[in-house]
Amino acid sequence: RDKSPLGRFASRAGASYREPMSDLADLFPGFETHWIDTRAGRIFARAGGAGPPLALVHGFPQTHVEWHKIAPALAARFRVVALDLRGYGFSDIPPSHKGEAYSKRAMAGDVIEVMEKLGFQRFAFVGHDRGARVGYRLALDHPHRLTRLAALDIVPTYAMWRDMDAKRAMRVYHWLFMAQPAPMPERLMAADARAWIDYTLASWTARRDLTCFDPRALDHYRRFFSDPARIAATCEDYRAGATIDRALDEADRAAGRTIDMPFLALWGDAGIPGEGLSPLDLWRELAPAAEGASVRSGHFLPEEAPEETAAALLKFLA
């Protein structure tokens, strides 16, 4: 019997989001759909455009859909691959215990497998939130894989925990709550999943409401978060962040490892990273040559400020 936090939901994992795809809007017209077999199971991706390869990786509590407003501009210059992290969106849900299957090292391996199977050994990477944590772990573990890396609205995981004070803990309460032992967070979140995701999305925007989100994108996010198995997967993601990911970061810091490729940090001027120490100063502890700037936005740059975000990314990626 599977005693992992995801075991109780294994029989219906993904059933509420993957199977009825036809009633959810296609926000990437002209893009191809891929289900790619990896060691973690099948990873879902949309691919479109022509040019050098570019991976787009979403954050919590979203899916690949978060890129829909800026994907056309990026696809005019790049071969864009927007994928769903394991456990999120349409991708499979590996069983896990205490975050072991949801470390950013493991997720980075998924990105490599997806890009390889689409024909790309090296690629640029843009990540938001959890996706950005996957990106900088990939850069540390496999620097030869990436040409450029952009991280949207985060600071390094080790810095988040190191600099946690009462103010930050209140703002990012979910870091502590979702990392608690299973199944308490899962049960509380699943009790009213619609209220949880709507509140979370709205509270992290500059306007503190849902107006920046296309209603069709909200349909995707709400459907994804209606599946108890996927809620459990997101909790495993945060358990990994509090333990495995933090330990890997601290080991790299102790060993003096840094990110030497071109690196861009963007953050919302009304987002969480913008409230503390300079995000760029924190990133330069890890990526000494990092460049960066704030965007007029809350946490969700690709949806709150798509034009400004796309322009900054295109300039950097060029």
Classify residue 130 by burial, with Cβ atoms within 10 Å: 0-12, 13-18, 19+.
Answer: buried
Among the listed residues 58, 64, 220, 299, the single catalytic one is 299
- CB distance 289 to 159 below 8 Å: no
The two structure tokens encoding residue 248: 């890997």
Considering 92, 110, 129, 237, which one is annotated as catalytic? 129
φ/ψ of residue 284, rounded to 5:
-70, -15
Cα–Cα distance between 114 and 53 in angstroms, integer?
Answer: 12
In angstroms, the CA 131 to CA 301 distance is 13
- Give yes or no: 141 in active site: no
Question: Has 129 been annotated as catalytic?
Answer: yes
Place of tokens 């953050």: 267
Cis omega before residue 183 (within 30°)?
Answer: yes
CB 223 within 8 A of CB 253: no
- Token reading at 177: 């709550």
DSSP annotation of 214 reads: -
| Alpha-carbon gap, residue 25 to 46, rounded angstroms | 14
Alpha helices in 76-183 (DSSP H): 104-117, 130-141, 157-162, 166-171, 173-178
Catalytic residues, by residue number, are 129, 299
